[in-house]
A and B are shown apart, each in its own frame.
Chain A
């Protein structure tokens, strides 16, 4: 079995455990073992944008030191926020020699001087480039024929462009994955727009309205469900439907899944690997049974 270093991040271990469990099971089915980085720490969740703030790059870079300590030079991560933070910090580190020196000096207790030579790979990229959608299609046991799935990229898989996993204005990577599983991708105008992210903490109302509009649009284009790679998008689009319904009584609920859950369905994995128990809106029984 092929092995690859894996950075989980905090949320995959807590509210997005369904993301992690389905990810590990799906990768195993594809013959890949995700090896968790020892002693990883939170990446900080957001890339620090000010020119003088180096302190907040220590957390992401420290994780890359752990990757090197494993003897690896490539790490896979699933969460869009972790991916974006690790990727952007690494790029900044690579591009600025003086900062590189300072960051390493801060971490003088580490046994290794980091040189910027770890590649950060988002799981979707890994599936496209290292596994191939053709191979995934061959492994499908239950083709999801007739299922209409709207890919929701959100912000951080695509922006800023130097950290994008695909064309930032016209991506197709999730569509290609959906097709390889036998389902039909649904294009809709909100697919690369923001769900308003962490405003879910202090402005539930703004996020609820956003969720209402995103789901309404996906519904209008015929989607049965929305697919995401970000535990924060998932929470906002899924659990915030509760507030959306309070605010907009005509809201029609729609399930929101991690791409690994949809893959697990198609690859014929067990309920315990798919883990709909942690999704707020449960996918309709009929929808699931007709496909499994």
Chain B
């Protein structure tokens, strides 16, 4: 994939993610351990280490429209395994928040069928909506 990003935009997106996550994107040296341990990797269209790289490059649209940030289940495995101490779980959350703070839902309560509402544990619905709706 060929993407062209103006320098100013590149810096802004990365800085915003850094601000929201509190993490230093420059710390990542692309070893891939985060992706190796990620339970959702097989379902993702951009691996966790690639998310780090794309943010570094300022590819806002690619990251915010990826399936990956919504497949991430905040399990903290990447964070546990990163040799550089990057909290990638927070970086994923920052990306989701950048999407949601444009006042849009990725998944809204109306999308849960009545039958499922009766069966699903409360924690499942609350956590899903906390992560995926604005």
Which residues from chain A sit less than 8 Å from chain B, CB to CB? Answer: 9-11, 14-16, 42, 44-46, 48-53, 56, 79, 81, 155, 159-161, 168-169, 193-194, 196-203, 206, 210, 231-232, 235, 239
Q: Does B49 contact A (CB under 8 A)?
A: no
C-alpha spacing A36/B118, complex, angstroms: 26
Q: Tell whether, in the assembled complex, residue A194 and residue B39 are in contact, meaning their CB atoms are under 8 Å apart.
A: yes
Closest to B76 in A: A159
Q: Does B20 contact A (CB under 8 A)?
A: yes
Find the residue from B107, B121, B131 having the highest chain A CB count within 10 A.
B121
Partner of B89, one of A11, A49, A210, A231: A49
Q: Tell whether, in the assembled complex, residue A155 and residue B122 are in contact, meaning their CB atoms are under 8 Å apart.
A: no
Given the known interface contacts A194-B77, A197-B75, A202-B107, the answer about A50 and B124 at a Cβ–Cβ threshold of 8 Å is no
Q: Tell whether, in the assembled complex, residue B122 and residue A14 are in contact, meaning their CB atoms are under 8 Å apart.
A: yes
Known interface pairs A49-B21, A210-B39; 5 further A-B residue pairs with C-beta atoms within 8 A, sorted by A's residue number: A45-B123, A52-B20, A155-B77, A206-B40, A235-B124
C-alpha spacing A56/B129, complex, angstroms: 13
C-alpha spacing A9/B127, complex, angstroms: 13
List residues of chain B with CB within 8 A of the CB of A46: 74, 126-127, 130-131
Q: Tell whether, in the assembled complex, residue A196 and residue B73 are in contact, meaning their CB atoms are under 8 Å apart.
A: yes
Partner of A198, one of B20, B87, B119, B128: B128
C-alpha spacing A10/B94, complex, angstroms: 27
C-alpha spacing A50/B16, complex, angstroms: 11
C-alpha spacing A51/B90, complex, angstroms: 9
Q: Tell whether, in the assembled complex, residue A198 and residue B39 are in contact, meaning their CB atoms are under 8 Å apart.
A: no
Q: Does B47 contact A (CB under 8 A)?
A: no
CB contacts under 8 Å to A, within B30-86, are 39-40, 43, 71, 73-77, 79-80
Q: Is the contact region of chain B dominated by helix, strand, or loop, or is it mixed?
A: helix
Sample (26) of A-B pairs whose CB atoms are under 8 Å apart: A10-B126, A11-B122, A14-B121, A14-B122, A15-B122, A44-B126, A45-B127, A46-B74, A49-B21, A49-B74, A50-B21, A51-B21, A53-B97, A155-B76, A155-B77, A159-B76, A159-B77, A194-B39, A194-B73, A199-B73, A200-B124, A201-B128, A202-B111, A206-B43, A231-B121, A235-B124
C-alpha spacing A278/B91, complex, angstroms: 38
Given the known interface contacts A49-B89, A50-B94, A194-B39, the answer about A10 and B77 at a Cβ–Cβ threshold of 8 Å is no
Q: Does B112 contact A (CB under 8 A)?
A: yes
List residues of chain B with CB within 8 A of the CB of A168: 80
Given the known interface contacts A11-B122, A160-B80, A168-B80, the answer about A196 and B127 at a Cβ–Cβ threshold of 8 Å is no
Q: Does B120 contact A (CB under 8 A)?
A: yes
List residues of chain B with CB within 8 A of the CB of A52: 19-20
C-alpha spacing A198/B121, complex, angstroms: 10
Q: Tell whether, in the assembled complex, residue B123 and residue A202 are in contact, meaning their CB atoms are under 8 Å apart.
A: no
Closest to A169 in B: B80
List residues of chain A with CB within 8 A of the CB of B21: 49-51
CB distance from A101 to the nearest CB of B (A): 19
Q: Tell whether, in the assembled complex, residue A198 and residue B97 are in contact, meaning their CB atoms are under 8 Å apart.
A: no
Q: Tell whether, in the assembled complex, residue B116 and residue A201 are in contact, meaning their CB atoms are under 8 Å apart.
A: yes
Q: Tell whether, in the assembled complex, residue B123 and residue A10 are in contact, meaning their CB atoms are under 8 Å apart.
A: yes
Q: Tell whether, in the assembled complex, residue B120 and residue A201 are in contact, meaning their CB atoms are under 8 Å apart.
A: yes
CB distance from A171 to the nearest CB of B (A): 12
List residues of chain B with CB within 8 A of the CB of A200: 120, 124, 128
